[in-house]
Chains A and B, each alone.
Chain A
Amino acid sequence: SQKIEQNSEALNIQEGKTATLTCNYTNYSPAYLQWYRQDPGRGPVFLLLIRENEKEKRKERLKVTFDTTLKQSLFHITASQPADSATYLCALPYSSASKIIFGSGTRLSIRP
C-alpha cells in the first residue's frame, strides 16, 4: 500500500542555518507533491507544490526538490528564523486531487 515517510519527528537547528526536511514515498507515482506548514492547534497552510516534471521549485527562502526516481522530496528553508518553527507536512494525491494523503510531519525548532 502507499506510504509516506518524513525523515524525523523533530529537527532542532540554529538560527541562520539551512533546515532540510525529507519526504519519502513508496508504491506511488504522484503527479505532484505538496508541502504544508502546521502550527500547534491550527490548520495546515499550503507552502509549495512541485510537479513530477519539475526538479526544483523556489519561493523566497523555501526550496523544494522532487526526485521521482528516488521517490523523494527535500524541503529546504534557508537563513532559518525562530518564526519558522512549526511542523512541516508532506502531502501527495492518492488517486487524484480529490484525495490527499499527509505524512506524519517533521517538527522543526529553530533556536536563536
Chain B
Amino acid sequence: EPEVTQTPSHQVTQMGQEVILRCVPISNHLYFYWYRQILGQKVEFLVSFYNNEISEKSEIFDDQFSVERPDGSNFTLKIRSTKLEDSAMYFCASSPRTSGSKETQYFGPGTRLLVL
C-alpha cells in the first residue's frame, strides 16, 4: 500500500540554523499538509498546499516557515532560523484528488526535530 515518507527521521540542529524537512506524498495525491506535535501536546495544523500554492496556514506558520514542491514528488518544509520552541515532531500528510475522499489525510511517520 502506498505511504507518505519523510526524511530525516530525526534532526538535531543549533538555534538559529535553517532546517529543511522532506516529504514524499502518495503519488496520485494533490493536497499536501504539514503539522507539528510538541511532545505531549496535540497535533497542530501548520499549512496546506494545493495546486502549487498555500491554501491555508495557521498562526504558527509565520515568516520563518516556508513550503515548496520543488519537483513532482517532494514536498518540503523549511524553517529559516530555528528557535528552541520549534522542537517537535513534524508530520507531513497528503490527501487524494476526488471530492468524496479529499478529506481523508494520510500521514507520514514524522521527523523529530530537536533545536539546541
Chain A residues with a Cβ under 8 A of chain B: 32, 34, 38, 41-46, 49, 89, 93-105
Contact = CB atoms under 8 A, between A and B. Distances in A.
Contact of A102 (B4, B31, B42): B42
Given A32-B103, A49-B104, A99-B45, 19 more contacts: A34-B103, A34-B104, A41-B110, A41-B112, A42-B109, A43-B107, A43-B108, A43-B109, A44-B105, A97-B31, A98-B50, A98-B55, A99-B48, A99-B58, A100-B105, A101-B45, A102-B44, A102-B45, A104-B41
Contacts of B65: none
Nearest to A46: B104
A95 to B, nearest CB: 7
Interface residues of B, number: 27
Closest 8 pairs (CB-CB, A-B): A43-B107, A98-B55, A98-B48, A99-B56, A102-B43, A98-B56, A104-B42, A97-B103
Interface of B: 4, 31, 33, 41-45, 48, 50, 55-56, 58, 89, 91, 93, 95, 102-110, 112
Majority secondary structure of chain A interface residues (helix, strand, loop or mixed)? loop
A106 to B, nearest CB: 12
Contacts of B4: 43
A97 B95 contact: yes
Contacts of B110: 41-43
